[in-house]
Amino acid sequence: MEKNIFRRLYPTTKLMMTFTLIMSAFVIPGYIYSYLIFLICGIIVYFCGKLKEYTKQVFKSLILLFIIIFIIQGILISKGEIWFKLGFISVYKEGIMKGVNLTSKITAFVSAFTMFFQITPIRDFVISLEKAGMNSKAAYVVLLTLQIIPEMMKRTNVIMDSQKARGVETESNIFVRAKAFIPIFFPLILSSIENTEERAITLEARGFSSGVKKTRLYDIEKVSYDLLFRILLVVFIVLCIIWRKLWNI
């Protein structure tokens, strides 16, 4: 059994934690707290032992975006006072402040969601949704999607290699590469569409549409402190709102 307290939480509690963090980032004014969410999520992920993947993913999705946001907001949109000049480039203070505000909120959103997906196995999440009343067909579709995507990526590489062996160029100028797209993409799609028919027959043979309550081999359960954790989260977000209303910032 897993010892870690965060990991053992029920998936919907983790989802609630994610949304509470995001909401608090929008309720609490200023950008410092929103950037701090990155650290808060980092600490939680650290206890689950996934810190490396988390940091890598957050940086991968944000770094290019932030560079471009600051360039566009600070340099290309010219309004307000000039903060300082770098050679012939003038940097605008208002634009930089707007960039900071934007990026802080995006950081909060992205790190909270990355944390959620790092500490929650998708299979557990889907099971918890199904227990909360989600249609079992819908739950199956989500699980199947997650299974099919890696399979499809593998098949892309196989088809690409076999078409290369038949003489299709994949590394040259743009027209040659565009021409290579069709002999790779079409076999991939047509073969995967054909598979759905077989899958439908297989599922029907196992009584997929029978509408009877299903039994489960793999199951998850709530832990004792789940309820406590949820109450704490609600109290936290209410406190944030009260704090903002009282000080009226």
Partner 1 sequence: MKSIKEDFSLMSILLIPVAVAINMAGFGLVKLLNLPIFLDTVGTVFISFLAGPWIGAIAAILTSVVSGIFDPVYLAYIPTSVGLALTAGFLTRFKFGNNIIKIAISSLVLTIIAVVISAPITVIVFGGVTGNMTSSITALFLASGQQIWSAVISSSIITEFADKLVTVIICILILGSMSSRYLIKFKYGEKYINKSKN
- Residue nearer to partner 1 on the CB measure, 71 or 239: 71
Q: Which amino acid is at 26?
A: F
Closest CA to 37 of 98, 113, 96: 113
Stretch that binds partner 1, among 29-37, 143-151, 217-225, 236-244 (CB under 8 A): 143-151
In degrees rounded to 5, what are phi and psi of residue 89?
-95, 130
Question: Among 68, 82, 228, 234, which residue interacts with partner 1 (rule: CB under 8 A)?
Answer: 68
Which of 72-109 are b and which e, b meaning 16 or more Cβ less than 10 Å from the residue's Cβ? ebbeeeeeeeeeeeeeeeeebebbbebbbebbbbbbbb
What size, in residues, is the chain? 249
Contact 120/11 with Cβ under 8 angstroms? yes
Q: Does 86 bind partner 1 (CB under 8 A)?
A: no
Stretch that binds partner 1, among 2-10, 86-94, 101-109, 210-218 (CB under 8 A): 101-109
Tell me which DSSP letter residue 214 carries.
P
Q: Which amino acid is at 76?
A: L
| Min dist. Cβ of residue 122 to partner 1 (A) | 8
Question: Among 106, 134, 220, 237, which residue interacts with partner 1 (rule: CB under 8 A)?
Answer: 106
- Residue nearer to partner 1 on the CB measure, 75 or 223: 75
Question: Of residues 218-237, which lie at the interface with partner 1 (CB under 8 A)?
Answer: none
In degrees rounded to 5, what are phi and psi of residue 212?
-90, 155
Beta bridge partners of 71: none
CA dist 120 and 38 (Å) reads 18
Q: Does 55 bind partner 1 (CB under 8 A)?
A: no
Q: Does 184 bind partner 1 (CB under 8 A)?
A: yes
Question: Of residues 18-37, which lie at the interface with partner 1 (CB under 8 A)?
Answer: none
Question: Among 52, 93, 137, 214, which residue interacts with partner 1 (rule: CB under 8 A)?
Answer: 137
| Min dist. Cβ of residue 228 to partner 1 (A) | 28
- Residue nearer to partner 1 on the CB measure, 28 or 184: 184
CA dist 126 and 12 (Å) reads 10
Cα dihedral: 154, 158, 164, 167 (round 10): -140
Two tokens at 161? 């290699």
Stretch that binds partner 1, among 82-90, 138-146, 217-225, 238-246 (CB under 8 A): 138-146
Binding residues for partner 1, rule: CB under 8 A, are 57, 60-62, 64-65, 68-69, 71-73, 76-77, 98-99, 102, 106, 109-110, 113-114, 117, 122, 137, 141-142, 144-149, 151-153, 156, 160, 170, 174, 177-178, 180-181, 184-186, 188-190, 192-197, 199-200, 203-204, 208-209
